Every structure is written in C-alpha cells, then in structure tokens.
Structure 1
Amino acid sequence: MLEELEVRDLGPIHHALLSPAPGMTAITGETGAGKSMLLNAIGLISGAPAQTARIAPGQEAAWAQGVFAVNADSPAAHILEDAGMELEDGQLFLARSVPEQGRSRSLVNGHTMPRTLLADVSAQLVTIHGQSDQMRMAAPARQRDFLDRYAGDGVELDAYRLAWERLQELDKRLTQLSEQQVGALQQADYLRQSIARIDQVAPRAGEDAELKEHRDRIEHAAQIGEGVTGALAALDASQLAADVDVDAPSVAALLDQAIQSLQAVGVNDLFDDPIQRLRSMSADLSDLVFGLAQQIDGEGESGDLDKLNARIHDIEELKERWGPTIEDVLAWREQAGYDLEDMDASPEKVQALRGEREEAHALALEAAQTLSSKRQEAGKRLSAQVSEELNALAMSGAALSVQVAARADSRLDAHGVDDVSFLFTPFPGSPQLPMGSSASGGELSRLMLAMELVAAEAKGSPAGKSQAKAKKGSNAASAASHPTELGERVTFIFDEVDAGVGGKTAVELGKRLALLAQSAQVIVVTHLAQVASWADRQFVVVKESGSGATNTSVEEVSEAKREQEIARMLAGSESDTSLQHARELLESSRL
C-alpha cells in the first residue's frame, strides 16, 4: 500500500506531498493543472523511462519517492531479500531522480539499484491503468496471469510447475547424456587401451627404485668387484679365489696370530680380557667379510642389462602418462576400471532415462490438462461477469471474450498447454479484437476496472461481497471496512476511467471504484464529481500563476473545502445551489 508520495520539480509541481487513503483516493483539479504529473511520478518510481522534458524549468533534476507498507512475506520483500536488502520497519522506499544531464538514478531503501530492480519491486505493489500503461495487458503472458489469479488455480498451477520442472530436469540430463555418447565411446576406448598397457607392464609399488639400484650395480660391476676384492684381500685373504695372489698377511690372520700369542703366555689368566676383545673383533670381522664375499658372489649374476633398461623404460613411460609415481599409476588404473564399468552401462542408463522422461511427460501433460480445464471454466465465467460489469459502466453491448485454447500438438511450456487471449468487443457489431488495440484509453480503463472488480469478487474479498450485495439490490449503507493488514493491499491507479461518462453512469463508476477499494488501495484521477465523491480522501491539484511563472500545488481537501471542490466540479462555481448539490452527492456516495 502506498503510504506517501513526494514529488519535487516535476513539470509545474515544485513540491507536493500526498498521503493516499488505504481505500479510495481521488485526485481532482482543473484541466491542465498538472494532475498527470502525479501519475508520472508514480510511473518514475515504477521504473518507467525517464523524460528530461518533464523537469521543472530552471531546475537541475526532478525527483519522486514513494513510501509503501509491505509485509515481510510479500513477493516484493522476497525480491529485496534476493537483492541483499531488507525492509525497514515494514516500509519500503522507492525513489527516482532524473537529472537534466546524464542518467536517472533509482534507489530502493536508500541504496542505488538498477532500474529493472525498481520495476520488479514496484510491479508487486502498483498496477497502473492508464492510456499507455494498460497496454501491458495486451501481452498474452499478462492475460494468462490475470486469468490464473481470477481462477484461483494455485493448486493446479503448482502441481503443473512441479511436473514441468521434473520434465525439464530429465530433458537436460537426457540431452547431456546424448551429447556425451560419442565422447563417452572414445573415452571408453582410451580407458581400455590404457588399462591394457598398464596391465601388460604390471608394475609393482617401489619397483622403479629397485630396478635403478640394480642397474647402477651392473653398470659399476668392475669398479665394485675391484674394491671388494681389495678389501677382502686386506681383511681375510682366505675368502678369495686360490689364484688371487696376496703378498701381505690379512687382518683376520693377524688377529688370529695375536690371540695365539697372548694365549701362549699362560700366566694366571693375565691376558684374558685382551684375548676376549680380540675374539670379539674377530667375530665382527668375520661378519663383515661374509657380507663383502656375498657382494663378490652377486656380481657374478649381473643379468641382462638391456632387459633391465627396457623394464625401466616401460615403467617410466607409465609414470609420465599416469604418474608421477608408480603408486599414482596403480591408483589411476583402479579408478579407470570403475569408470569403464559405468561407461559400459551408459546405454542402459540412457534407455532408463528415456523411460523416466516419457513418464514425466505424461504426468506433466495430465497436470497441464487439469489446469487447462480450470482455466477454460474460469474463462467462461470471467467473460460473462466482465461483460455484465461493462454494461453497468455505460458500455452497453461491449463484451470481453476470454479464449483458452489447448495447443493441438499438446506442446507444453512453463505455463501449461494453453494459449490464452483476451478479445474485446467495444460496441455491438464490432468484431472481436485483441485487447489493447480495440478501445480508447477511457474504455480500456473501464474494462480494467471491470476485470479488477470481478477478480476481487472471485477471491471472496470484502469488495466482492459488497459487490454481490449491490447486484442483489441491497441499498443498506455500511461503512467501508478495510483489512487490518494494510501492507497486503495492492495499489490500483486509474486514469481516464471516466472519459466519456456522465450522469448515473458516473455514479455507478464511482461506486464500483469504492467497492474495489474495500480490498485494494485505489487512486483515481478524475474530473467527475460523481466519481470523486466516493473517495475516502481527496486531493486537489491547483495551478497558480504569478511573477511570470506557473506553479502547481497539491492540497488535501475535507469537509467544507471538499464540498467547495465538488461544487466546482459539478457546476463550475460555488453557489449555494451547487454547494447544496455537493453536500447531497457526498452524503449519498456511501456503500
């Protein structure tokens, strides 16, 4: 609900501040006073294109701001939340500045935002029915959305959307799998060849290090043999081949000689300790000599160096492709085996997925047909009820025909299987023409009013209940009772709704605007007293000239001042007779 509208330097309005009523607000004034600028201001905060020509002469920029009461769980609040913002004490501030030079600036709760976000938020709060704005209803999507709102088919619509989302998900998965078929076959061939190559080499963990060590030993066999032989000759010449010529005595022989020499002393075990130590040294030496002798024996089994290098080359090749280590190669081979099993099963998966897709399509089509049936029934009711309302709004013979046609090929889209179109007959004998291209601005405004009234009645709102009583001929007056949760109220703005209307029809038009105002906030720009008299609150736009400049002021009128304004609208003067008529009109304009 729009709580406050403030405008600066827009057209002839240098400053204006309005607080519309929760119910119906009338904006009146003489022709050319600047009433349209207030609508332009609402258009600006609704994301309409900026027009620098509407900036007040001599000013650098025009500015408009709307303050809305919004509930935390409303669609507008959710849009803000997605954009990273929150409401401020249940209020939403939408502002727009239009400089003489440069781009306009859009603000939401004080934060600069793209104009598209401003438009998205305001679309949840304000519906403008003016000569240009309501051309949006010519769009099939808008017509379908209106029909759904009237039909109250939320349950069927949600069921279809779930089925549609499931179908879309399966279509996406199936497309991905189908597109991957060629690539998958190539990948499977690659995996098979790679696994075969690894299995052919059959490496062991750590084998590469062992092979390189072995190769080093073979390549340095002569050097190793010469060194070991020399060491053995010095330590224990008995371990060498008999043909090895050793001139000097070995360490082992010298140790034995030392032990024997000390044992030969035989004086009271005098050298037992040195003897034991020499024996220990001899034992350690024997172990060392045995190990070195093993080295000499191993060098005699050097193996085939070519085969060894070939093995090392094969393993290095595996490491370069799937490594960098043997352990990485073995891990890759294990995972490749699992992946290959999955790929081998992919044709079956595709077939199974196609079966799921067919089942999901059947369910979505069934849900779409259920939704279509409800839309078709609602379309018939909407056509009849709107046509009845149009007759009461001085459009005798005018009719709305809501066409809901299920596509012959049962082609589904995100909204079902239907093509929805609103066809309008503005006068008897006229062909049915697409809505938006078949009526004047005033006729479209009254058509939209009729549609909104019927929609309000359909959802069991206070407006609908009051309207139903009025249709039954009930003349009982009742005070307008507005819902307590005013933040939920959508704001409807009507311009030119009274074009070509007068007399009793004007009274009926005002009454129907007041009926709609029981479930929504209604702001109407009007030049008819019979319409303005039904408003809960009235603002007068007055053009003042002086000092070579024209300025427009906006003032709320009540009691005596309102009677004077209504009298002016009735007779162009404030005579006693016109004031008496104004009082009578205000008194009779009550639901």
Structure 2
Amino acid sequence: MITEVRIANLGVIAESVLEPHRGLTVLTGETGAGKTMIVSSLGMLLGERTDSGRVRGGTDRAVVEGRFDLSGLSSELLQAVADAGGEPDGDELLISRQVSAAGRSRAFVGGSQTNLQTLQQISSELITIHGQSGQIELGRSSRQREILDSFAGPELLQLRTQYHDHFVAHRDALAELAQLQADAQARAREADLLRFGIAEIDQVAPEPGEDSALRAEAARLTDIDDLRIAAQQATRALAGDDEDPGAGALAALTAADTSLRQLAGSDAAAAELVDRISELLVGAQDLTGEVSRYADSLSADPQRLAAVMDRTAALTSLTRKYGVDIDAVLAWRADSAQALEGLDGSEDRIAELQEVIAQTEPVVDRLAADLTAARREAAERIAGQVGPELAALAMPHAQLTFSVTPAERGPWGADRIELLLAANPGQAPQPLAKAASGGELSRIRLALEAVLTDAGIGTGGTVVFDEVDAGVGGAVGLEIGRRLSAMAATSQVIVVTHLAQVAAFADRHFVIAKSSDGQVTTSGLVEVTDAEREAELARMMAGLSETGTARAHARELLAEAGQG
C-alpha cells in the first residue's frame, strides 16, 4: 500500500504530496489542473518511459518518490529489493524516480540505484494502473489468460502448475534428445579418435619420465668410446702405467708423504703437514680405484644402444601427436579416457530421455485437456457474472466472453484464450481491443475487477483507475463508485475522476487546484472534508459550489454513497 507520494517539477506540478487512504482515494480538479500528472507520477514509479518534455519548465529535473507500507509486501518482493541492493526505511520501502530535462533517467529502490527493468519487476507487484497502458495490457492474450485462470480459482492454478512442470520436463527432454541425436555422428567420430589414441598409447605403454631417461642413456651409449679413453687417461694420471708406474699422482704423493715424515722426525712442527699429506694420499687412492672401476664399466653395447634408439622413436611418435613429452602424453590419455566414458554414456542418456518422453507425453496431454475443460467451465461462469456488471455500467447489451480454442501446446496449456466483446445485439463478437472504445475498456476492466473481488480474488496492493468514468454519468457513475468502493475493501484504490457520483464514495478526497497564473503551487493538492468536500462535489455536478441547491444535491449524493 502507498502511504505517500511526493511529486516535484512534473508537468504543471511544482510540488505536491499525496497521502492516499487505505481504502478509496479520489482525485478531482478542473481540467488542466494536473490530475493526469498524478497518474503519470505513479507510472514513473512503475518504470514507464517518461518524456523529458514532462519536466516542469525552468527546472532541471522531475522527481517522484513513493513510500510503501512493508506490511503488505511479500517475502519474495523484499528479497528482490535486497537483491537490488536496497533496504527498507524503517517500516516502509522508498521507491523514487528522477528524469532530467536532458532526458536522463535514474531509479532508486530502497535507497539503491537500479535499472528500469528491476524497478518494473518490483513496482509492478505494488501498483496496477488501469489507464491507457492498462487497457493495452488487457488486450494481450497473456493478461486475459491470467484473469480467467485467477477467476477459476486455486484448483485450476494448481492444475496449471502441475501441467507447467510436466510440460517443461517433457520439452527439455525433447530438446536434449534432439541435440544428442543431432550430434551422434560427431560423437561417434570423436569417440573413434579417442579410442585409437588410447590404444596407440597403451601399445607403447610409456612410463612417466621415460623419454628423458632414454635420452640420457642414448647420449652415454653414443659417447662410450670417448668416455672410456678419458677415464683411462685419468687413471694413468693418477696411478701411472705399466711402463712408468712412478709417473702418476699417487707416486708423487707417496714420495711427498715419505719426505714429510722424515721432516717430522727432526721437527715436531711438521707433524701437521704429515697429517694433511696422508689425507691427500688416501683420497687419491680412493679416487684412483673409482676411476678405474668406472673405466672398466665403459664397454660398448651396440645392442642396447639400438634398443634405446628404437624405444625413443616409439615414444617420439606419441609426443608428436599427444603431448610435448611423455608426461603430457599420459595426461592426454587420462583425460581422453574420461571423455570417452562420457561419450559412451550418451547412448545411456538417450535411452533415459526416451523413457522420460514416453512417460511425460500422455501426462502432459491429459493435464492439458483437464486445463482446457476447467478454463471453458470458468469462461462460462465469468461471462454470466460479468454481464450484469456491464449492464450496471451502461453497457446493457454487451456480451463479454472468454474464447478458449485449441492452440499449439505451450508452457501454460494448449489453449488460445481471447477476450471477445459484442457491444450490441446481433453484433458478432470481436477481439476486445478492436470492439471497445477507451471508455468501454475502462468499464470492462472495472467489471472484471468487481467480479474478481466478489470471488475473493481481489488484485490487492494499490490499484489506480484513470478515465474509468469516461463517457458516463448519473446513475452509471453511482454504480462505478459502488464497485470501486467494494474493491477498496481488499485493495487500496486511487481514482482520478470528473464525476461527483464517483467521488462521493471516497474515503479520502483530494482536489488539485490551479493558482492564479494557471500553475499548481506547492499547496495545490489539498484534501477536502465536510463543507469543502460538499463544495467540490457541487462544483463537479453543476459548476457552482456556493448555491444552496448545489450543496443540497452534494449532501444527497454523499448520503447515497454512505458518506453523509
């Protein structure tokens, strides 16, 4: 429910504050006083496109702020506000919209700036405007379906939910199956390539790091002769050879050891030198043995070299195709095995989907048929109830029917629902948008809302009517007022009207007055009560507010509306 609307610099309105009643609030005033700007301001809160030309001349921007009572907001809507970054302001939610003279628009929900799409999503749950845009909406098949289904009641809505769930499951299974079948050849080719690669790798059976180890071994086997010569030269340098055993390092170290020991016998200070030469001698002896053994191990092995080269060639054939080295090849093999498992599982998935489709197809058909039957029964009932409402609203011969005809199966059934109107006897029913005038559309909306309210399916939230009384007056105006008042028992209703017969039913009555220069001042939106209200109703009926007769008629009208 709206608790307050603040408007600044919109059209002829400089600044105004509207505090609607929980029930029925009416707005009246002379032509050009700015009544339509009130509706336009609410449209701005709904995220409607707003022409920068509506920004009041001499100002840089128009601003509309709406405050909504949190007690009427659903948890889903509050979550949408939170998702948009907004927060409640105490026990209220603030929504605002700004439009600059340059055409730039900004929207805020709960203090957080948001885009128009999010604003529309949130505010459309709070306000319903029955004006020109609402009449266009009524002409849409989707809206007509919602009206019929809501009237039919919770059993049909539950049936529709069941149908929708099964339809979506059936549709998704069909789509996935079609995709799998369309990709069958591509999957088969991919699977064959993966199997070939895996088999090729398994036939070679490489080990992790094997290619690096073989390269090192091949290099060693290839250079075996050079290695052996170098090792033999090192051995001779250390131990000498058979022709000159004293030419090696060992002989020199041994001679040095003997000399230093003699020196130490004469000079104790040389004892440390003996220890050091002894360490060198022992180390040289150990090194000589190791080099000799290494030289003995370096024997040529042509067969092993050939085997290493063959194995290296086999590994190279794998790294050319599947990875930069054997470790990468093995990683490719593991990934491919997993992918192949998924591809092979597609056949199982196809069988599963076919089973799902076979099971859901008859269920979807049955639920669609049940939904059609329920809608046709509801269409007969609502037509019978809306007829008297239209008659009371100066459309005595109008026949409004919901046509339910077969259509391609969709998410909400297999029906094409169309609202048809035959305005006069003998006239063939035509689509509502073609058959009804603007005033008739407004009254049809009111009649439908009245029927829904009687059925306990009121719109709830805030409902705004603009031009609902276009082209009518007198007794019809009273009937319109009665229906708006009844609707206000379950919804907050705001009505812009030029009929005193409608305004008389208001729980709160506001007048938009012009200033002397034709503009609306900051105090232009004024609530009227008692004598002031009588005067305004008198003005609306006769253009005179000060005559006793006009005042008497106004009091009679208030009494008729139960407000006197």
TM-score (norm 1): 0.81
Cα distance in 2 for residues equivalent to 1:15 and 1:124: 26
Counterpart of 1:59 in structure 2 is 59
CA deviations over 1:98-153 (Å, ceiling 9, x no partner): 33223233332333322333223222122222245312211111111222222233
Cα distance in 1 for residues equivalent to 2:12 and 2:233: 117
Counterpart of 1:480 in structure 2 is none
Using the TM superposition, name which of 308-317 and 285-294 deviates more: 285-294
Counterpart of 1:201 in structure 2 is 204
Counterpart of 2:262 in structure 1 is none
Is 1:424 matched up with 2:421? yes
| Alpha-carbon offset, residue 441 of structure 1 | 1.7
Using the TM superposition, name which of 569-578 and 433-442 deviates more: 569-578
Q: State how 1:28-427 maps to structure 2 within 5 Å.
A: 28-70=28-70, 71-73=72-74, 76-152=77-153, 153-230=156-233, 246-248=243-245, 289=289, 292-293=292-293, 296=296, 299-303=299-303, 305-319=305-319, 321-407=321-407, 411-427=408-424
Change (3 A) 1:121 1:330: closer
Counterpart of 1:514 in structure 2 is 485
| Alpha-carbon offset, residue 561 of structure 1 | 1.1
Counterpart of 1:534 in structure 2 is 505
Residues 481, 501 of structure 2: 8 Å contact kept: yes
Using the TM superposition, name which of 132-141 and 318-327 deviates more: 318-327
CA deviations over 1:217-237 (Å, ceiling 9, x no partner): 222221222244456668889
Cα distance in 2 for residues equivalent to 1:74 and 1:519: 20
Change (3 A) 1:82 1:403: farther
Cα distance in 2 for residues equivalent to 1:5 and 1:107: 14
Residues 13, 519 of structure 2: 8 Å contact kept: no
Cα distance in 1 for residues equivalent to 2:142 and 2:79: 22
Q: Which amino acid in structure 2 is aligned with residue 208 of structure 1?
A: D
Residues 424, 433 of structure 1: 8 Å contact kept: yes
Q: Which amino acid in structure 1 is aligned with residue 475 of structure 2?
A: K
Using the TM superposition, name which of 505-514 and 17-26 deviates more: 505-514
Q: Which amino acid in structure 2 is aligned with residue 18 of structure 1?
A: L
CA deviations over 1:566-590 (Å, ceiling 9, x no partner): 2222333232233233223212313
Cα distance in 1 for residues equivalent to 2:421 and 2:67: 36
Residues 81, 110 of structure 2: 8 Å contact kept: no
Residues 7, 16 of structure 2: 8 Å contact kept: yes
Counterpart of 1:441 in structure 2 is 438
Counterpart of 1:584 in structure 2 is 556
| Alpha-carbon offset, residue 25 of structure 1 | 0.9
Change (3 A) 1:525 1:309: same
Counterpart of 1:575 in structure 2 is 547
CA deviations over 1:155-194 (Å, ceiling 9, x no partner): 2232223223323432343244234323322221221221
CA deviations over 1:246-280 (Å, ceiling 9, x no partner): 553799x99xx99xxxxxxxxxxxxxxxxxxx9xx
| Alpha-carbon offset, residue 74 of structure 1 | 5.0
Gaps (5+ residues) in structure 2? 256-277
Using the TM superposition, name which of 116-125 and 300-309 deviates more: 300-309
Q: State how 1:474-513 maps to structure 2 within 5 Å.
A: 489-513=460-484
Q: Secondary structure of 2:549's partner?
A: helix
Cα distance in 1 for residues equivalent to 2:292 and 2:205: 33
CA deviations over 1:270-322 (Å, ceiling 9, x no partner): xxxxxxxx9xx99x979975984575355143426455323223324434543
CA deviations over 1:462-503 (Å, ceiling 9, x no partner): xxxxxxxxxxxxxxxxxxxxxxxxxx9421111222223233
Q: Which amino acid in structure 2 is aligned with residue 567 of structure 1?
A: A
Counterpart of 1:266 in structure 2 is none
Q: Secondary structure of 1:453's partner?
A: helix
Q: Which amino acid in structure 1 is aligned with residue 371 of structure 2?
A: L
Residues 235, 291 of structure 2: 8 Å contact kept: no
| Alpha-carbon offset, residue 538 of structure 1 | 0.5
| Alpha-carbon offset, residue 386 of structure 1 | 1.2
| Alpha-carbon offset, residue 338 of structure 1 | 4.4
Q: Secondary structure of 2:554's partner?
A: helix
Change (3 A) 1:311 1:398: same
Q: Which amino acid in structure 2 is aligned with residue 360 of structure 1?
A: T
Change (3 A) 1:206 1:115: closer
Q: State how 1:560-571 maps to structure 2 within 5 Å.
A: 560-571=531-542
Counterpart of 2:265 in structure 1 is none
Change (3 A) 1:203 1:496: closer
Q: Which amino acid in structure 2 is aligned with residue 417 of structure 1?
A: A
Cα distance in 2 for residues equivalent to 1:202 and 1:490: 73
Change (3 A) 1:297 1:580: closer
Cα distance in 2 for residues equivalent to 1:59 and 1:286: 102
Q: Which amino acid in structure 2 is aligned with residue 173 of structure 1?
A: E
Q: Secondary structure of 1:127's partner?
A: strand
Cα distance in 2 for residues equivalent to 1:205 and 1:175: 42
Cα distance in 2 for residues equivalent to 1:162 and 1:460: 24
Change (3 A) 1:225 1:12: closer
Q: Which amino acid in structure 2 is aligned with residue 420 of structure 1?
A: I
Cα distance in 2 for residues equivalent to 1:159 and 1:78: 25
Residues 76, 122 of structure 1: 8 Å contact kept: no
Residues 130, 441 of structure 1: 8 Å contact kept: no
Counterpart of 2:454 in structure 1 is 457
Cα distance in 1 for residues equivalent to 2:125 and 2:86: 16
Q: Secondary structure of 2:377's partner?
A: helix
Residues 11, 55 of structure 2: 8 Å contact kept: yes
Gaps (5+ residues) in structure 1? 238-243, 259-277, 462-487
Q: Secondary structure of 2:303's partner?
A: coil
Using the TM superposition, name which of 215-224 and 341-350 deviates more: 341-350
Q: Secondary structure of 1:427's partner?
A: coil
Change (3 A) 1:402 1:330: same
Q: Which amino acid in structure 1 is aligned with residue 191 of structure 2?
A: A
Q: Which amino acid in structure 2 is aligned with residue 394 of structure 1?
A: A
Q: Secondary structure of 1:586's partner?
A: helix
Counterpart of 1:263 in structure 2 is none
Q: Which amino acid in structure 2 is aligned with residue 2 of structure 1?
A: I
| Alpha-carbon offset, residue 440 of structure 1 | 1.8
Residues 75, 124 of structure 1: 8 Å contact kept: no
Cα distance in 1 for residues equivalent to 2:210 and 2:519: 98
Counterpart of 2:11 in structure 1 is 11
Cα distance in 1 for residues equivalent to 2:335 and 2:36: 72
TM-score (norm 2): 0.84
Residues 239, 288 of structure 2: 8 Å contact kept: no
